[in-house]
Amino acid sequence: MTRLPLHHDLYLLAHDQSGKPLVHASSLALGLAGAALLDLLLAGRIVPSAGRLAVRPLPSGDDPAAGRAGGDSATGRTGGDGPWSWPAGDSGAGQDAGDAVADGLVALAARGPDARSLLKRAAAADLCGLTRDGLLASGVLVRVSRRRLGMLPYTRHELADIASVVRASSGVRSAVEGWKPPDARCAGLCGLVAVLRLEEQLYLDQPAGRLVARLREIATAADPPVGELVEIVDVLVAEAAVAVYR
């Protein structure tokens, strides 16, 4: 079975079976941005360059993302820190050109930001909604409408099959328990699970503090850019949490 993008796996772990989120929306958005960026870095679609990020051109040389770097007067998008609208999903992110989150990050990276700036800018968009829409389109989630007290309608996005979330957590569980060495992608997911405090979703019989420490250890031990990216997300999540009380 085709492996889901990393931010899809993180989204599944961050929601219960009924579709209720288990973490604050701003924290989850940063986590999703970090997961999607890590996928693109590991695939070589986005590369570090002199402390900033750059987009590696597609082999064909026909790269819509690169064309966005200087702006687009028709949409109000400009280079640098000017006005920005999330792309419509046509940049060809390297593996899954239909993924709106990955496409948006590629377009943002074409402006040459550092990782911290890119993640903050991306998290300001509705990454939770974009990721959810991708999971709905692939059939992993289904839209369910019900009524409270038989009168008030509401809609939730529930798992079509519990196996999806089991697969999302299996690599992390294996890494923690020592059953299988983690690859860079799995190590990144371990770190993001620790940052968002989703360790209960792993259903491992370990004290929470010890489990979180182990997850962080796995991410830190991985090759760059895993540890650095997880650390950036961790700092941004902490800053977002403090900002709520200002």
3-state secondary structure 19-44: CCECCCHHHHHHHHHHHHHHHHHHHC
Cα–Cα distance for residue pair 20/120, rounded to 1 Å: 24
Interhelix angle 208-221/226-243, rounded to 10 degrees, is 130
Tokens 């492996």 label which residue? 3
Q: What is the pLDDT of residues 132-188, one digit of tens each?
A: 999 999 999 999 988 877 778 888 899 999 999 999 999 999 999 999 999 999 999
The percentage of residues in the chain with a pLDDT greater than 70, rounded to a whole number, is 83
Cα–Cα distance for residue pair 14/7, rounded to 1 Å: 10
Average pLDDT score over residue span 196-216? 97
Q: How do the domains of the chain map onto residue ranges?
A: 6-243
For residue 127, give Cα distances in angstroms to 26, 33, 103, 173: 10, 7, 12, 26
| pLDDT, position 107 | 93
Asked if residue 201 lies in contact with residue 193, where contact means CB atoms within 8 angstroms, the answer is yes
DSSP readout, 79-122? STTS------S-S--SS-TT-HHHHHHHHHHTT---HHHHHHHH
The percentage of residues in the chain with a pLDDT greater than 90, rounded to a whole number, is 71
Q: Whole-model pTM?
A: 0.86
Is residue 207 scored above 90 in pLDDT? yes
For residue 176, give Cα distances in angstroms to 161, 172, 210, 220: 24, 6, 11, 13
Query: 6-243 belongs to which homologous superfamily?
Result: yeast vps74-n-term truncation variant domain like (1.10.3630.10)
Q: What is the pLDDT of residues 67-111, one digit of tens each?
A: 444 443 223 333 444 444 666 544 443 344 469 999 999 999 999
CA 17 from chain center: how many Å?
A: 19
| pLDDT, position 71 | 41
Asked if residue 6 lies in contact with residue 169, where contact means CB atoms within 8 angstroms, the answer is no
Is residue 36 scored above 60 in pLDDT? yes
